[in-house]
Amino acid sequence: MPKIIFLPHKIILPQGAILEAKKGETILNIALKNNIQLEHACGQSCACSTCHCIIRKGFLSLSGGSEKEDDILDKAWGLESESRLSCQAIIGDVDIEVEIPLYNVNYVTEY
Ligand code: FES
């Protein structure tokens, strides 16, 4: 079983987490099942960008992104070349390392 390593995030996950994942699940579903409260304002319909994450290791093992995902990602705060929407990125066979960006379009306070 692949693992998802969530890097620490000041507010959402100060200690970080290492989770067992099932191939074929989305990063977001695995996070939510483990009580990691990643935002998902559009209900996982690839329409918001609040579930944006950056894949620090294992990017190429994930399912391919779509044109629609790329369009939505363009609105994400802190976009990088290895950014994905966690509701669209499906786990493959390899461990991945995920960074939750400090902000998203719904955060109105500064940390
Ligand atoms: Fe809205 Fe992922 S939850 S794009």
* Per-residue pLDDT tens digits for 21-41: 999 999 999 999 999 999 999
Residue 75 has pLDDT above 60, yes or no: yes
Cβ neighbors of 91 (< 8 A, separation 6 or more) are 2, 4, 21, 22, 23, 24, 25, 26, 27, 30, 61, 62
- Supply the pTM of this predicted model: 0.93
Whether ligand 1 lies within 6 angstroms of the CB of 31 is answered as: no
In a domain, 90, yes or no: yes
**Rounded distance between C-alpha atoms, residue 42 and residue 36, angstroms:** 17
In a domain, 61, yes or no: yes
Domain, as residue range, for 33 = 3-97
In a domain, 103, yes or no: no
* Per-residue pLDDT tens digits for 50-59: 999 999 999 9
Q: DSSP secondary structure string, 5-29?
A: EEPPBTTTBTT-EEEE--TT-BHHH
CA of 28 to the centre of ligand 1 (A): 9
The domain total for the chain is 1
**CATH number of 70's domain:** 3.10.20.30
* Residue having the nearest C-alpha atom to atom 4 of ligand 1: 46
Token pair for 31: 């996070």
